[in-house]
Amino acid sequence: MEKIETAVQKAFDKYPTRLEVLRELLKREGLEQDKNLREDYLRLEKGAEGEQDLVNYLEKYGEAHWVILRNVWLDFYGEFEIDLLLITRGGLYSFEVKNYSGNLELIDSQCRMNGHSIGQNPFSQAQKVPVQLKEMFKHQSRHPEIQGVLVFIGENNHVTIQDQVSGIQVLCRNELMHYIWQIARQERNYLGYPVEVDTVLAALRSYEIGKPSKEKEIPQTAKEYLRKGVCCCYCGSFDVKAKNGYVICSCGMHEPKTEAILRTICEYGIIYHEKNLTTTGLTDFFDGFITRKTISRYLNKYFERVGSYKGAEYLNKKKSIADVCQNFDLKESKYLKIR
């Protein structure tokens, strides 16, 4: 299965996502004072996990030539997101993924989770997407078949539906494999003109927005009292020591020191993604783990210099080390040694 990105998504890739920033703040105790931000983080993390589960199912049970787009934000008479859009030769499948735990009921148009009504009705949310997509394709010469799918992917999610839910397919996790096989069967039996990925991208292009326009800024207060220093790349503990070229944690993780330093610079870059990198800012962030001179050496070697000689700044990559490590030419690997 091929994962592709739209041109708008590629442009937004230069910035960390809200979840990426919140993950870094969590590591450094930045979410402890802000209950809303913590809940926001948990919701995003759970959603991302659920979506990844769906991708894993599609990879395992789907066809190798299928193409997927993830997290496409569109504005078509209102903003909405497609969690995952599957493009097969036979049609489009827009997946809305809900990763709930507990008992979800849809009875008399009331949607309840463990007995409490929930803010956004996932059924009506999922029903809108294929309707909107069909409208967007109206001006294209060919109109692919579009199926909306709502997946309750949570392992511990029990779903009771008494109402008729029209226009979409509703699935629980244990039905997903068979449904993916059914998509493959529908594709094999499809006799029409094959759906072209470029046509799909062209239809979405003019409505794409990259992210919700009302996405809340993360308050600066959450960044004020962050824990400084280098943490373990495996367990997150700050109780690490540098020895023989490695950063060693009591959990057994041995990370090459060069990598740990670059990783921490990247973490800083995600948290302060609106700024360039400076020796002063990073010296404060490393909190004595390495000297100012070493930081300066790393910035000169691995990051692109911008600005004047005096107030030297370096281009912030704004991404985690996993996303940019190909630029760093790291030779040694980290390893876990459990005593």
Which of 82, 253, 262, 321 is in the footprint of Zn ion by CB under 5 A?
253
Q: Does 230 bind Zn ion (CB under 5 A)?
A: no
Sheet strands (E) in 36-161 = 67-75, 79-88, 91-98, 102-107, 110-113, 116-117, 146-152, 157-161
Contact between 258 and 321 (Cβ < 8 Å): no
Pick between residue 150 and residue 240 the one whose CB is nearest to Zn ion: 240
Chain residues 17-56 in contact with Zn ion, contact rule CB under 5 A: none
Stretch that binds Zn ion, among 42-50, 55-63, 250-258, 270-278 (CB under 5 A): 250-258
User: In this complex, which beta carbon is closest to Zn ion, that of residue 236 or of residue 245?
Assistant: 236
Angle between helices 176-189 and 35-61 (to 10 degrees): 50
Q: Should residue 234 be labelled a site residue for Zn ion when binding is judged by CB under 5 A?
A: yes
3-state secondary structure of 156: coil
**CA 50 to CA 124: how far, in whole Å?**
19
Q: Residue 235, interface with Zn ion (CB under 5 A)? A: yes
User: 80: closest CA among 202, 211, 216, 218?
Assistant: 211
Q: Which is nearer to Zn ion, 61 or 234 (CB)?
A: 234
The answer to the question of residue 232 lying near Zn ion (CB under 5 A) is: yes
Residue 27 Cβ, how far from Zn ion at the closest point, in Å? 12
242 binds Zn ion (CB under 5 A): no
For residues 260 and 230, what is the distance between their CA atoms, to the nearest angstrom?
Answer: 7
Closest separation in Å from C-beta 247 to Zn ion: 9
Binding mask 302-331 for Zn ion (x = CB under 5 A): ------------------------------
Q: 281: which 2 tokens?
A: 């800012």
Region from 141-149, 227-235, 262-270, 308-316 binding Zn ion, contact rule CB under 5 A: 227-235
We find the least distance from the C-beta atom of residue 234 to Zn ion, in angstroms, to be 5
Tell me the C-alpha distance between 277 and 19, whole Å: 21
Decide if residue 251 touches Zn ion (CB under 5 A): yes
249 binds Zn ion, rule: CB under 5 A: yes
Site track for Zn ion across 174-203, x = CB under 5 A = ------------------------------
Phi and psi dihedrals of 296, rounded to 5? -60, -40
3-class state of residue 239 by DSSP: coil
Helix or strand holding residue 204 (H, E):
helix 197-205
Q: Which residues would be at the binding site for Zn ion (CB under 5 A)?
A: 232, 234-235, 237, 249, 251, 253
